Amino acid sequence: MLLDRLDRYIARNVLGAMLVVQVMVLGLDLVISYINDLGDVSGNYSAFDVLLYLLMRLPWRFYEYAPVAVLIGALVGLGSMASSNELTVMRAAGRSLGRILIGVLKPLLLVILITMGIGEFVSPATEQHAAAWRLEQSEGADAVLERGGGWQREGDNFYRFGTIRADDTVINVRRYEYDGQRLVEASEAQRAVWNGKAWTLENVKTTYFDANGTRVESQPTATWHTDLTPAQLNRLLRPLNSQRMSSLWQYASYLRSQGQEATQPLLYFWQKSLLPVTLAGLVLLAASFVFGPLRSVAAGTRIFYGVIVGLSFKYLQDLLAPASVLFGFSPSLAVVVPTAVCYLLGFWLLRRTG
């Protein structure tokens, strides 16, 4: 019974610290983002609309900042108990270091469930809605869902898409067809409309290249023969880091079926799927700091080192991501290697405490 009470006490302190850190980080990010986005105010898009847009994106921000909140929250929660000598009393009473770590990891299960749920079911929908709402407020009801467009290859065809609207209408579709050696056909359509089963191109202009020169033909409508669906185009034109794991895996499978690199979607897939292991590694590292070399320093110093470690962890992942493309190794290693470093460093520091 005493052990259960101690576990609940440790869990309450650590979970409370994680929550406080997450709220503070989200609040700071909201203020900075709001000030930065005020420059986008124009027409019907007011300063209040900027705030609403940022509030819609809070689920995604919550998911993105979860590793930082977990690391610093564990440092703060355990550090406060260490500063008041509560951890020392627990160990003097016969509670092992491993048992204390179990008490720390218990609340992490709840954090993992909430974070994974938000990342898989909540933030993808809110990010899409926020983007559409923002553009509709600033540019009217027919605003596009995403800016920027993107390129896509399908066999010998290369496509350039402008934007996709909230009603799944694609604006500005360009197609370049090759016969393996040279360009044989180039076409441009003002829009592509999805009727539930197939695409219909509108205002199509096609240029043909052959031995006799070039010729241009125009059509009011034409059928677009492609395996691309609105869901796939949404995955192409939306940021990969805000998509579901299932969508990322499907998009990666589609790219590989077309003989293309699928590093980016696979990278985000592994980041999301291995998030529980990553968070546990960060908690272990935080505990090793409290019980190891930072047990006698001030709380502010622990937090400072926690921020440094958290940023180093993120930058290491960010550096390994393009390296996986350059050197051809699996994108899963870009996630596994930094996490493994956390575990190895954490176990090494805990081992030194005896």
* Mean per-residue pLDDT of the chain: 84
With cut-offs at 50, 70 and 90, classify the pLDDT of residue 148: low
Q: Which residues pair with 36 in a beta bridge?
A: none
Q: Which residues pair with 188 in a beta bridge?
A: 174, 205
- Average pLDDT in the 217-226 region? 91
Give the whole-angstrom CA distance, residue 297 versus residue 83.
Answer: 9
Give the whole-angstrom CA distance, residue 93 versus residue 9.
Answer: 15
Model pLDDT, residue 211: 77
Q: Which of 161-170, 219-228, 234-243, 344-353 has the highest mean pLDDT?
A: 219-228
- Average pLDDT in the 290-318 region? 73
With cut-offs at 50, 70 and 90, classify the pLDDT of residue 3: low
Residue 2 has pLDDT above 60, yes or no: no
* Residue 202, CA distances (Å) to 54, 117, 145, 147 in order: 36, 40, 19, 20
Question: What DSSP assignment string belongs to 190-243?
Answer: EEEEE-SSSEEEEEEEEEEEETTEEEEEEEEEEEE--S--HHHHHHHHS-GGGS
- Average pLDDT in the 145-161 region? 77
Give the whole-angstrom CA distance, residue 41 versus residue 238.
Answer: 23
Tokens 């204390």 map to which residue? 100
Strands (E), the chain: 150-154, 157-164, 170-178, 183-194, 199-210, 213-224
| Whole-prediction pTM | 0.80
Give pLDDT tens digits for 241-283.
888 898 889 888 878 887 878 888 888 899 899 999 999 999 9
CB-based contacts of 321, cutoff 8 Å, min separation 6: 263, 264, 267, 331, 334
Give the whole-angstrom CA distance, residue 318 versus residue 285.
Answer: 20
Q: Which residues pair with 175 in a beta bridge?
A: 159, 187
Residue 292 has pLDDT above 80, yes or no: no
Report percent pLDDT > 90 for the chain. 32
Give pLDDT tens digits for 172-201.
899 999 987 789 999 999 889 998 888 999
Residue 293 has pLDDT above 70, yes or no: no
